[in-house]
Copies of this chain bind each other. A is one copy, B any other.
Amino acid sequence: MTTTSTKNPERATSPDKPLRADAQRNRARVLDAAEELFAQAGNGATIEDIAKRAGVGVGTVCRHFPTKQALLDEVLTQSFRELVADADAALASDDEPAVAFERFVHQLAGHQARRRMLAEQMATELELPPQALELRDAMRAAITELLGRAQAAGVIRDDISPADTAMLFAGIALITAVAGGDPAVRDRYVAVMLDGLRPAAATPLPGRPMQYRDVDKILQRRSGKG
């Protein structure tokens, strides 16, 4: 399902032209392989590994994606697209706020776990590829809205921000991804986290909610240093 038959945002050199049939096939294979290996090994995954898994030569990988970073960016962007789609679906659904929110965070954790880079990036470890910037903003807006509705309905505690939400579930996703990626385990932990977010048992929290502004600040500081 992760094929890129719809559009190819970048191409090595030359403006754009319909890819030859085998090229399209290979590109998709590479993307799938990369997604899988990046998820497994973070970006420690090797170009050669990816090529092998995709059943192509390294040359092929590097022709389609001029740089390892470009490949990573594309996979990341892909993930964001799916995430945003889920978020939009949740927003559009007429489920109760609690249900919509819970379903969505399960999906969120799922996406992030399947590709741990996504989780890392949402926690600002990685630079965001420019193509993904607006997707990220859409994502943030969606989380804000879903959380807001749930809080307004009184089913989620008020002292939690959208940025907190993203972080918390990214943490769950990251750790379960690192530890084998069993979806059953992940769902369990998401459920625990959700219990922690209910107003019923809420204990006063130290500190203040994290804002996306803070996240961006961390991101800047990081790219500033190197």
Contacts and interface: CB of A to CB of B under 8 A. Distances in A.
Given A196-B197, A197-B196, A167 B180 contact: no
A168 to B, nearest CB: 6
Interface in A157-200: 160, 164, 167-168, 170-172, 174-176, 178-180, 184-185, 187-189, 191-198, 200
A193 B206 CA distance: 13
Interface stretch (A25-33, A61-69, A119-127): A119-127
A207 interface: yes
A43 to B, nearest CB: 10
Nearest to A193: B196
Interface of A: 119-120, 123-125, 160, 164, 167-168, 170-172, 174-176, 178-180, 184-185, 187-189, 191-198, 200-203, 205-207, 209-210, 215, 218, 221-222
A204 to B, nearest CB: 8
A149 to B, nearest CB: 20
Contact of A175 (B167, B189, B218, B222): B167
Contact of A124 (B119, B180, B205): B180
Q: Is the contact region of chain A dominated by helix, strand, or loop, or is it mixed?
A: helix
A210 B175 CA distance: 13
Nearest to A196: B196
B192 A160 contact: yes
A125 to B, nearest CB: 5
Contacts of A178: 120, 123-125, 174
A53 B179 CA distance: 32
A207 B188 contact: yes
A206 B192 contact: no
